[in-house]
Amino acid sequence: MDADGFATHSREMSDLSLRGGIRHAFIEAHMFRLKATGLFDKLIARPRVHFVYLHHVFDDEIPNFRRTLEEIQKTHQFVTYSKAVELVYSGQADKPYVCISFDDGLKTTYRASQVMDELGISGCFFVCPAIVGESDRGLVKRFAETRLHYPPMDVLNWADVEDMIARGHEIGSHTYSHPNMGEVSVEQAIDELQLSGDMLRKRLGGVKHFAWPSGKWENFSAQGGKAVFDLGYESCASAIRGCHMPRSFAAGRRDVCLRRDHIMGAWPLHHNMYFLARSVLVNSPNDYEWPDSWKPIVKRNRHPQDEPPAQSGNRLSFSAPAT
Ligand SMILES: [Zn+2]
């Protein structure tokens, strides 16, 4: 930590608890088995679109961050976030594609973007305009405590963001001020989406992609999912683990909930690779879906030409039990 209590090293963010230790041993054991049986190589080679994301990349994480990207690059083609979204919406993938994104607009991701430039990789940085360029460290600290729920860190400014765009990276919306979108009113949720989109469009000329804060189902709502598309965003991402296998039923869809696998520069290389392989292993058609109870609301966003032709005869009821 520095004099203001801002985190400066990855260890200040690490889970050093007993639970963290047990998790570490669990991953080691599973990865050993996946490698020994040859299953790992088969899983990682499966054609699909895989989104990975991080929050911070401290200087001490840079070497392993670079190694992780180089390792992924051996078996995957990195694509821009927009290209990955396009591939998901096409329902097709002829090889393993991966794209990388970063949540919260932390300053350390600027250095990460330069490392990515050296490797020819473009990322998408999901930012909250309320805090971009905030130089008052007291305010940044309060934002971290009340909105991010982890130790404070310096944040990107608008010049950083513009420079990253000039170098081929993308900027996405992560709401205006990082509330728990599962707890705010529908009106507040819409305001957060609208204000963020308006500011990013005004400052940067456009914004296409959205990822909701904290990323779990309980941190969002069906009405929020609907509003994302109503307000013109082209994609909506969670932080729920998973990947998108090519599926014919996905062709032409725009109402998909994107899944992303969390990786960390500080985690051992094979831990990060384990999460990718595991998402392939446990993948299901549900990796495209919203919770069943949300679907009737979010799906209203489907473009009319994407709708399947009306069927005659018996229609499935939404009250059918989920399978
Ligand atoms: Zn966030």
What CATH code is carried by the domain that includes residue 57?
3.20.20.370
Minimum mean pLDDT among 39-43, 125-129, 195-199, 265-269: which range? 265-269
Instruction: State the chain's mean pLDDT as an integer.
Output: 90
Any domain includes 323: no
Query: Looking at residue 301, what is its pLDDT?
Result: 60
Any domain includes 89: yes
Query: Looking at residue 20, what is its pLDDT?
Result: 75
For residue 103, report the distance from its CA to the centre of ligand 1, in Å. 5
What is the pLDDT averaged over residues 213-236?
96
pTM for the whole structure: 0.91
Q: What does the block give as tokens for 319?
A: 């009250």
Any domain includes 316: no
Q: How many CA atoms lie within 13 A of 44 on its CB side?
A: 21
Any domain includes 319: no
Please say if the pLDDT value at position 4 is more than 50: yes
- Read off the pLDDT of residues 67-125 as tens digits, 9 standing for 90 and up: 999 999 999 999 999 999 999 999 999 999 999 999 999 999 999 999 999 999 999 99
- Read off the pLDDT of residues 225-268 as tens digits, 9 standing for 90 and up: 999 999 999 999 999 999 999 988 888 888 899 999 999 999 99
What is the pLDDT averaged over residues 1-15?
86
Query: Looking at residue 216, what is its pLDDT?
Result: 97
DSSP character string of 70-104: HHHHHH-EE--HHHHHHHHHHT--SSEEEEEEEES
What is the pLDDT averaged over residues 183-212?
96
Any domain includes 321: no
For residue 248, report the distance from its CA to the centre of ligand 1, in Å. 32
Kindly tell me the sign of the dihedral angle through the C-alpha atoms of 233, 113, 127, 54.
Answer: positive
Any domain includes 186: yes
Please say if the pLDDT value at position 15 is more than 80: no
For residue 127, report the distance from its CA to the centre of ligand 1, in Å. 8
Query: pLDDT-derived band of residue 16, with 50, 70 and 90 as boundaries?
Result: low
Q: How many domains, the chain?
A: 1
Helix (H/G/I), strand (E/B), else coil: 200 = helix
Any domain includes 2: no
Q: Which helix (H) or strand (E) holds 172?
A: strand 170-173
Q: Give, as residue ranges, everything with CB less than 5 Å from ion ligand 1.
A: 103-104, 213
Query: Looking at residue 314, what is its pLDDT?
Result: 34
Query: Looking at residue 312, what is its pLDDT?
Result: 38
SS3 content of the chain, % helix, strand, coil (to 5): 45, 10, 40
What is the pLDDT averaged over residues 159-182?
98
Any domain includes 322: no
Query: Looking at residue 308, what is its pLDDT?
Result: 47
Query: Looking at residue 21, what is its pLDDT?
Result: 78
Q: Are 164 and 124 in contact (CB under 8 A)?
A: no
For residue 208, report the distance from its CA to the centre of ligand 1, in Å. 17
Please say if the pLDDT value at position 34 is more than 90: yes
For residue 148, report the distance from its CA to the centre of ligand 1, in Å. 6
Query: Looking at residue 300, what is its pLDDT?
Result: 64
Q: What is the span of the domain harbouring residue 245?
A: 19-303
